[in-house]
Structure formats: structure tokens, C-alpha cells
Amino acid sequence: LRITEVKTDIELTFEGNYQSSIGTRLSMWQAAWLMWEESPLLGIGPSKFQGKYGEMVLNRTVPMGDLIHNQPHNDILHAASSGGVLKLMSYVFLIAGPYTFFYRRYKKFRFDFDKRVFPIMGMQVVAAFFITGLTNSNFDLQIYSTMYAVLVCVLAKLTVFEINEAEPTKPLDPTALSH
């Protein structure tokens, strides 16, 4: 079970061994933070994390973790280290913009069950991507970026979709089917 692995990973990290899932993430996060401090405005550039991380491990600037990763497994730190404040602000808007939109629609229709469902789903999608992005780099992979964009756009459209009020829909009459 993953819970047992987490316990073991934490114990190893406290012993100074960062060669585990959690230990490597902590090492990469420290490295990403240092990279951002080194170049806060523009970051170190795209696709440079793995090489820079390897240098930092060899120089003993950060603890030895697995060197196979090309990003720090954290969307916030990945944006900051690879693109600086500019990319970090883009990430913040990518998350905060849709969440704010869905939240405002939810507040507007909070007492209308039919109209509040899609804003709730939208907030859940954005929150899920943000939360999983704390331990993974979702937006580093095209499939996750595309899925996020499609889900947010579809849910946004469903959130604002209005049935033509000039032609209201009527519930299906079960007796009409028998004729």
C-alpha cells in the first residue's frame, strides 16, 4: 500500500536518504526554489531543470534524489523555476481565472439546483488540477493541459448555457408514448 511507502519514505528522508518518492520530491523542490531564486524574473528556461538539478546534486547544493526527472513534480515550482515570475503569474491566472468564474456563477445560482451543478463541477476540476499539481507537474504534459482546457471550456459553456426561453422545454408526457 502507498501508506506504508509514505511512512518508509519519510523515515528514509529523516535518515538523510532522499532516494525515495517523497525524498526525491523534497530534493527537487529545494532545487527548483534555488533555481527560481537564481533567476526570478525569467527562470532558467524550458527543459533545463534536469541538467541543472543534476549539477546541484553533484555540487551537494541539494540532497541526492533520483536524477531521472525533467521537472520538479510541482506545478508552482516548475512554473517559477523554468519561467520565473512571468510563467508563475500565468499559472496563477490559469487556475484562479476559471475558479473565480465558476465560483461567481455558483454564487449567482446557488439556490437553483439545475444551474449550480456545472459551476460546482468546474470548481472541482480546477481544484483537482491545483491539488494534484502540488505533487506532480500536470501542465508539463500535453495530455493533462489539453484535458484541463477541454474540461474548463465545456463546463464554462454548460454553465452559461440557457435554453431558449421563447420555447421552454416540457417534461415528457408518458401517455404520449403509448399512442
The answer for residues whose C-beta is within 8 angstroms of residue 19's C-beta and 6 or more apart is 12, 64, 65, 66
Q: Tell me the pLDDT tens digit for each residue of 106-131.
A: 999 988 888 899 999 999 999 999 99
Per the prediction, the chain carries an average pLDDT of 89
Distance in angstroms (rounded) separating the CA atoms of residues 101 and 117: 14
Residue 78 reports pLDDT greater than 60: yes
Residue 176 reports pLDDT greater than 70: no
Interhelix angle 113-132/75-108, rounded to 10 degrees, is 170
Mean local confidence (pLDDT), 33-60: 93
SS3 135: coil
pLDDT at 162: 74
Residue 61 reports pLDDT greater than 80: yes
pTM reported for the whole predicted model: 0.83
Q: Tell me the pLDDT tens digit for each residue of 80-89.
A: 999 999 999 9
pLDDT at 178: 60
Mean local confidence (pLDDT), 139-168: 86
Residue 163 reports pLDDT greater than 80: no
Residue 3 reports pLDDT greater than 90: no
User: Are 44 and 107 contacting, i.e. CB atoms less than 8 angstroms apart?
Assistant: no
Residue 18 reports pLDDT greater than 60: yes
pLDDT-derived band at 9 (thresholds 50, 70, 90) equals: confident
Q: Tell me the pLDDT tens digit for each residue of 127-153.
A: 999 999 999 989 888 999 999 999 999
Mean local confidence (pLDDT), 72-97: 96
Helix/strand/coil (H/E/C) assignment for every residue in 22-79: HHHHHHHHHHHHHHHHHCCCCCCCCCCHHHHHHHHHHCCCCCCCCCCCCCCCCHHHHH
Residue type (1 letter), 106: Y
Q: Residue 1 half-sphere exposure, CB side, CA atoms within 13 Å?
A: 3
